[in-house]
Amino acid sequence: MTGSEAATANYAEDNSQVGMQAGVVHGDVTIYSTPPAASPTERFEIGVMLLDGGQPSKAREVISEAVMAGLTGSRVCFHWQLALVSGRAWNEMPDADAAALRQAPSFCRLSGGDAWADGVKTVLQLMDAAAKPNTDLRPLLKDFDNLAEPQRGMILRHLELFLEGPLKNEIWDRALDEAREEQMAGNRSERVWKYFHPNPAGPRFLPVRPPVIPAGTRGRAVCGAVVLGGAALNLGYLLLRDLQLLTLLVYALGSGGGFLAFRAGTEWHYLTERLHAKDREFRRPQEFPSRAKPSGFAGKVDQRFDRYFARYVPRNASRQTWLDGTAGIRKILRDEMVEVYREQRTSVEQIAWLIRYRVSEVRRQWENGALWGYRRELAVPLGTKAATLLGLAALASGTVWTMADAARTAPVNAAVSALLALVAGRVAVRARMRIVTETRRHAADVAEQSRVQEGCQAAFERWKRKLADKPTDPEMAIWLDRDRKVLLSDALDHYGLTMSDVIAHAFIEAPGSPTRRARVPQGPPRYTRYRLLLFLLTKDGIRQLGADLDFERGTFHDQARTNYRYEAVAAVRVRQADDGDHSFELALVNGELVKAEMLAAAIDELHVDETHATVSETMLDAAGLSHTLHVMEGIAAEGKRWLEQERPRKADPQGRAAAWTAATPRAATGAPRT
């Protein structure tokens, strides 16, 4: 906690940076959103999710609204009770909430006979025992141990701060056993990472460029073919008229050679053009040093491509060779992604899977040599070249022979026909080659994109199946609660304390570094790494423990402990910025400063009906800051006197028993209200 060269022990120093690799809002999840016209039942179910998600303040509000609207039942009563006590100690509860807690069974018209009603009665019994420390705990604990799940586990989770004395130790032991046994339950280590990935966006592609064949080109092809055909027929007529049968045979062979040369030459031309086009894709793009790097969506896409191309280096190439060799295709893929997703309100995180897949495919093709396989596929075969050259030779020979014989009988007619045939043939061949090349280019592009689409769609389905068991936000909250209990237990063991020795304890949760974050709308941010700060208030002073939590593995690292007397606390401050940022500061009289940043401003992905202020409020509720402030501000204001006053308040059974007298037998038995 204290740097070797610093005079201040900082939990998160002013100049420290929290590494944020990604921020995700699961916009398709609405478990915490309360529609204005929601029915009492709908409000209650949302309140249950808020309670499970570690937002007790909001849960109290929503469940109370449902109850006041007339919703009743043992399940309603049980969750209302837990919402009223969750996240705060007995002396932090307002009188109105204490009255609601006492009257909950009658308000909800509790009737026995199910596990929820048993849970309600158990909570009441625990409240009675907490108010009367001399109560024999053995029957109560036996009933508690026989309580069904999930009621038993929920009580262990939400009554942590509310109970005192011997009962506190007993319930804590059970809560700790449950936390250690279930800390990694639900295949946590294999599922947590999925929470930080949004539901993926489906693959999209630019439409294949249609064949670009101007009408003039088609016209030249048709007209040229007609003129060529007419000139050829006229030459044939001249030979046939004069019965030059040998020359006519040579003429036919020359014409056949010309047709063969056209067919083979068109194939040669197409393959050459296609090869040059593919080579241009791999050509390193021209760089413009003065051009600013793109920002926003395009900039994030750039970063992802740079990251994955730098990470997925083929086994048979150096990093620089790989990056240089794929610069062109990298730019093409990047430009396509930016173009097809820019206006679709899609985040980069939603297409990260597609970027990874496309990069991995480039690497796979590089490794097996298929990346340049087009050069083999588009290489002009020797047979095509030979057919073109032989056909041209036959055409030239036949033309010369034919013209020589035809010129003897009809020199002008033969010359005009030959000239027309030459000009029209050249026009028709060039136009027809362009038409064929463009048509085949389009067909090849369609076939190539179809193959890519099939691969991307299969990868998309695989990724969706992989994320199908993504944990819910309440699951994340429960795992975090168990981690906190484990850390609290480690602190108690280190200092040789029991839970009843602790007058009060409080946590501060802040994002670790580096970390990724994600949240559901109206929910608090969850992190892959946390920095937890624990305060234990004992009769001898304050025990402070800080630790980094690797949330995926449930392990703690870089623990740091500090101890100080109550008189050493100079001030406790919570600063709130206009953008919702909060920082907690604990100043000691020797100038040391313990500071934790709760970064709401870093959350720039806001959902509908959200503001930085509402997100900040949710974050602080989930982090339990109100309880922490109650404890630490009391110490800062009164020092040990707060401790001396707090201990009698907790130890005096009369005040608590008097406050609990309204928990009548009728309420305890669940008789309906009259």
Q: Which pLDDT tens digit goes with each residue over 294-306?
A: 778 888 999 999 9
Cis amide prior to 525 (ω within 30 degrees): no
Residue 72 lies in a domain: no
Are residues 439 and 552 located together in one domain of the fold? no
Given 448, 466, 484, which residue is the final one in a domain? 466
Count the residues in the chain.
Answer: 674
* pLDDT tens string 275-300: 998 888 777 776 544 455 677 888 89
Given 436, 466, 496, which residue is the final one in a domain? 466
**Can you tell me the distance from the alpha carbon of 65 to that of 44, in angstroms, rounded to the nearest whole number?**
8
* pLDDT tens string 586-642: 888 887 887 777 655 455 566 666 666 677 677 777 777 777 777 777 777 777 776
The three state secondary structure string of 559-595 is EEEEEECHHHEEEEEEEECCCCCEEEEEEECCCCEEE
pLDDT for residue 582: 67
Residue 597 lies in a domain: yes
* pLDDT tens string 370-408: 888 888 888 999 999 999 899 888 888 877 777 777 667
pLDDT for residue 601: 46
Q: Which of 134, 133, 104 is CA-nearest to residue 121?
A: 104
Are residues 254 and 390 located together in one domain of the fold? yes
For tokens 């339990």, name the residue. Answer: 624
Are residues 443 and 491 located together in one domain of the fold? no
Which residues are CB-contacts of 72 (< 8 A; sequence separation ≥ 6)?
107, 108, 109
Are residues 315 and 335 located together in one domain of the fold? yes
Instruction: Report which residue type is found at 460.
Output: F
Average pLDDT, the chain: 82
**Can you tell me the distance from the alpha carbon of 24 to that of 32, in angstroms, rounded to the nearest whole number?**
16
pTM of the model: 0.78
- Per-residue burial over 447-470, b if 16 or more Cβ lie within 10 Å, else e, is eeeeeeeeebeebbeebeeebeeb
Please give the tally of structural domains in the chain.
2
Are residues 396 and 491 located together in one domain of the fold? no
**Can you tell me the distance from the alpha carbon of 605 to that of 213, in angstroms, rounded to the nearest whole number?**
46
Longest dimension (CA), the chain: 137
164 vs 503, 504, 508, 635, CA distance in Å? 9, 10, 22, 20
Work out the burial of residue 122: count CB atoms within 10 Å of its CB; fewer than 13 is exposed, 13-18 middle, 19 or more buried: buried
Residue 520 lies in a domain: yes
**Can you tell me the distance from the alpha carbon of 246 to that of 404, in angstroms, rounded to the nearest whole number?**
13
Q: Which residue has the higher pLDDT, 462 or 163?
A: 462
Residue 163 lies in a domain: no
Are residues 240 and 386 located together in one domain of the fold? yes
Given 433, 466, 499, which residue is the final one in a domain? 466
Ranges of H-type helices in 148-210: 151-158, 165-182, 188-195
Are residues 451 and 567 located together in one domain of the fold? no
pLDDT for residue 672: 34
Cα-Cα-Cα-Cα dihedral sign, residues 7, 569, 533, 540: positive
Q: How many CB atoms lie within 10 A of CB 377?
A: 11
Are residues 435 and 488 located together in one domain of the fold? no
Helix 245-282 to helix 327-341 angle, to the nearest 10 degrees? 80
The single-letter DSSP state of residue 624 is T
Q: Are β-strands 20-25 and 526-527 bridged in parallel, bridged antiparallel, or unpaired?
A: unpaired
**Can you tell me the distance from the alpha carbon of 152 to that of 161, in angstroms, rounded to the nearest whole number?**
16
Are residues 313 and 415 located together in one domain of the fold? yes
Are residues 310 and 440 located together in one domain of the fold? yes
The three state secondary structure string of 494-515 is HHCCCHHHCCEEEEEEEECCCE
Residue 119 lies in a domain: no
Are residues 239 and 306 located together in one domain of the fold? yes
pLDDT for residue 605: 63
Residue 197 lies in a domain: no
Are residues 553 and 444 located together in one domain of the fold? no
Residue 421 lies in a domain: yes
Residue 116 lies in a domain: no
Domain with 551 in it:
1-31+473-638
Q: Are β-strands 569-576 and 555-564 bridged in parallel, bridged antiparallel, or unpaired?
A: unpaired
Evaluate if residue 78 carries a pLDDT over 90: yes
